[in-house]
Amino acid sequence: MASQDHKIFVDGMTCTNCSLSVRKKLEKSGYNKVSVNLTNGETRFSSEGEIDIQAVCQEIDNIGFTARIVEDREIKKNPLVIRFFIGLPFTLVLLVHMFLPMDHWLNNPILQFGLATPVLVIGWIQFGKGAISSIKNRMANMDVLILSGASAAYFYSIYGSFFIAGSSHQYLFFETAATIITLVMVGNLIEHYSVQKTSSAIDALKGFQAMDAKILRGGKINLIDLNQVMVGDTMYINSGDHIPCDGEIIEGEGAINESMITGESLPIYKAPGSHIMSGTLVAEGNFQVKVSRVGTDSTLSKIIKLMEDAQGEQAPIQALADKVSGVFVPVVLGLSLLSFFLNYGIFDVALEDSIMRSIAVLVISCPCALGLATPTAVVVGIGKAAKAGILIKSAKILETFAKVKNIIFDKTGTLTNGEFIIQSFDFFKYEKARIETIIFTLEQHSSHPLAKAMVGLLKDSEMDPTLKQFEEKKGIGILCKDENGNNYSFGSFRLLKDHREDDTHFHLFLIENDRCIARIQLKDAIKNHAHEMLSYLNGQSIKSYILSGDQQSKVAELSKSLGINHFEAQLSPQDKLDFIKGYKKEGITAMVGDGINDAPALTLSDVAISFKQATDIAVHSADIVLLQENELNSLTEAHRISILTLKTIKQNLFWAFSYNIIAIPMASMGMIEPMAAALFMAFSDVVVVGNSLLLKIKK
């Protein structure tokens, strides 16, 4: 029986455990090749033969999510923000009582019960779905830990305050229940906005697709919907247009900016017979094009598909607390039960005291310090990075970047700043100033992007009024005559009649009466602090690579200049993805890029890094955005901050777990009274928060 592929959309997933629950549910139901994309909810799977897709959606609904068949879904507002701000005032008021005398009115148990109850309800609404689904799939996550701790503190407070006569104040742990829920929601808010930014990258990329095209139909040029364009149609494209479909030029010539696809820094001359790609930009010229690929076969559509696949393949890094929660939760629950049976069954402790000791184990195990360990360090780390001009979009990315083993760089706009400088300037007649005057005057009359760059480079030169009769030849250069009848031309190698042996290394030539009198070699300027940044990476035993769509000679020259031994040139977006998949097998891999062609590779990498001045697609795809233009030392700073933050998180977790290791046995033996336990818990919180704040002043 033939295998059939299916696609549904799942709403309500907020974390990696949610997507894992959906995947495990489908796999248990016998489906294969299950892929769940957390960022957009797209879920793919295959089955043997026909299935009832509505029944599949119902299975997903049964574990707490909402599955839909149609792709045209309503975008629901995430209620996390509203829930957080509803619960925050109640939590803040509850925390105030810890600093007040015992007879203060805020210590009234009924009042505290009233303040804590809405927060607990919000917590169950927010985390209950994830907790229940994780238990069903036998994967206890942080949601279980959060709710078990908060609920234990809440019900313990109710029992102690309302059912034990004369001792209500020493059982007040309502603020603990509320604080756990509120603090964890802060971390979830950070993650929510990170996911939102990531998913918008594909939408922004789709924005580059033209919605219509100028097509010759019935002897007239008509503007028709892109979906109606067919292979073989004649398409008209003008200067400044984004190319709607792949095709072959049948008439016209000019320059196409393909940097978004190939990484090539210079516009490419195109003439009849040349192939053009969708999504690229007409820098100069007008064309008639025979359409060769449409729809999902076009170059830009394939890049979008690559990016969607890369998002689906990306394995999110779990936060350290989540990694241990699967063990911590059942261990604590087991210790609580063990405490009861040992006290009541073996040591003949009274039933009520045994129950109270068992509940005390849960209360003192409340993951308040554990919940603070990661968020407080991350908030300080992200703030420290922001002051250094580094935008870190995700809390988890700090941990991942600190462990990076490979960093892959694009060339143009990443290691170089995309601005041309003159590398070599040879002149064989006249003084250099005279040569520059002639070139400056000629380029003033050209609309080619390279001409504009040359005008900027020679801006201190003067115009030559003796030059007249300017004429621009597309793809060749600009021509003129002087008042004495001498012919001058400046442009590409096509102007040359006699070639020197090393002319191939030069980009532009000045010709006087068929004789070359000057030649210029251009190159992208290397960004500031590139050498220092690479030296730092080498010192950290991090391997550096260049993957570029640019020409082999240019990439090789840059690699040699920067001391990078590993590079690949003339790569397509698919080639870059294949290389990154290989590098990821060796260790955590980061990608630094700035163009549309880098977007799929950025998405597939473990850490995506881009720049403020990069394309919107690259910025949306990035986990880390460097805000200082043309400054690579901020990449070094981002890595240093990530290492410091991860170190702080580990220290915080050490203190949090040390507290539990010491306090749980003492609570089980009845050695810690509830008030002492509260002080013990507060002390662990102070240590964790204080250690996180020290990160601010660490160099």
CA 630 to each of CA 412, 635, 648: distance values in angstroms, whole numbers, following the listed order = 12, 11, 30
Cα dist from 566 to 183, 546, 582, 592, whole Å: 45, 7, 14, 15
410 is a catalytic site residue = yes
DSSP letter for 529, please: T
pLDDT-wise least confident of 112-116, 172-176, 642-646: 172-176
Classify the C-alpha dihedral 188-607-65-40 as positive or negative.
Answer: positive
DSSP H or E segment with residue 124: helix 109-136
pLDDT tens per residue across span 366-380: 555 665 677 677 777
521-565 tens-digit pLDDT: 887 778 888 899 999 999 999 999 998 877 787 788 888 888 888
Query: pLDDT tens for residues 167-206?
Result: 555 667 787 778 778 877 775 675 556 445 444 545 655 6
Q: Tell me the average pLDDT across 391-400.
A: 78
For residue 158, what pLDDT is reported?
A: 86
Cα 693 to its chain centre, rounded Å, is 26
Mean pLDDT over residues 449-464, rounded? Answer: 84
Helix, strand or coil for residue 599? helix
- In the chain the domains, ranked by start, together with CATH numbers, are 3-57 (3.30.70.100), 212-243+246-293 (2.70.150.10), 390-417+527-636 (3.40.50.1000), 419-524 (3.40.1110.10)
Kind and range of the H or E run holding 161: helix 142-163
What is the pTM for the complete model shown?
Answer: 0.58
Confidence of residue 117 (pLDDT cuts 50, 70, 90): very high
Q: What letter does residue 297 receive in the DSSP assignment?
A: G
SS3 656: helix
- Residue 523: Cβ within 10 Å count: 17
- Give pLDDT, residue 480: 93
For residue 336, name the pLDDT band (cuts at 50, 70, 90): confident
Task: Give whichever of 352-361, 475-484, 503-512 has the largest mean pLDDT.
Answer: 475-484
Question: Given 233, 246, 322, 410, which residue is catalytic?
Answer: 410
**CA-to-CA dists, residue 442 to 25, 290, 439, angstroms:** 69, 34, 5
Distance CA 663, CA 681 (A): 9
Residue given tokens 């997903």 in the structure block: 60
First CA to last CA across the chain, in angstroms?
Answer: 63
pLDDT score, position 316:
37
Q: What are phi and psi of 112, to 5 degrees?
A: -65, -35
